[in-house]
Structure 1
């Protein structure tokens, strides 16, 4: 099944690890086979990965973007998700399990989508102060 992706002028996307920028006009792309795709607006900057859920999101996002480091990143993401599984209520923990399942199947974007409700809940609990960047030593690292 093809994916139709409508891009705004100058919008950037990452396709199979390659950053691309749309030209000055709205464009629709049709992706006809399997590809790892993420919009720039869905990307989390490393300094924003200062909470447990955001750290998991960042690791999964990195696995999507860096196919050459995917094995190590997937392992790190699964470890981070395992830590999160016991923190949330069963209703919210379901998102952690779905994300972990999607990561194990190589469906990284779907895993990211599962984490969004948890990021929202994390913001409700921690407040904006909880999202302030921490010391660089506490931020998730991309395994090499």
Structure 2
């Protein structure tokens, strides 16, 4: 089934192994074959992966884009176990992500990974201000 994609001006898109950047105007096109793709908003670079959940998401991205990369799968298992140990409340997210990975549906795993990043952010926002010098009140 064809997929219509609309890109904002200068938005990036990965299709298969190709990186595409849109021009100065909004555009749309149709992908007529089954292929892997990621919008710029779904991509986290290594330098942006500054939390445990973002690093897990980056690993999921590698698993999605690369074909049969056992190192990424091993890294996913290690990272997922560490997250569950550190924050057991993340287990439902990890379980869902693992289910998608086991089924070979890496795109859905990435989507659930974004939910996990939002949950991680919500947990961090609930930390006391004293634990973060940038949030502490001036003394």
Aligned to 1:33: 33
Taking a change above 3 Å as real, the CA distance of residues 18 and 69 of structure 1, as seen in their structure-2 partners, is farther
RMSD over aligned Cα atoms: 2.5
**Where do 4+ consecutive residues of structure 1 move more than 3 Å?**
127-130
Aligned to 1:42: 42
CA apart distance, 1:69: 6.8
- Which stretches in structure 1 are left out of the alignment for 5+ residues? 131-144
Q: Is contact 1:3–1:31 with CA below 8 Å preserved after alignment?
A: yes
Aligned to 1:71: 70
Greater relative contact order, per chain length (Cα 8 Å cut-off, separation 6+): 1
1:52-106 Cα distance to aligned partner (Å, 9 max, x none): 21111011112233x25733212312332233345333xx522211211222333
CA distance in 2, matches of 1:72, 1:107: 18
Secondary structure at the aligned position of 1:57 is classed as: helix
- Which stretches in structure 2 are left out of the alignment for 5+ residues? 133-139
TM-score w.r.t. the length of structure 2 is 0.75
Structure with greater Cα Rg? 2
CA distance in 1, matches of 2:97, 2:67: 21
How many residue pairs match? The answer is 127
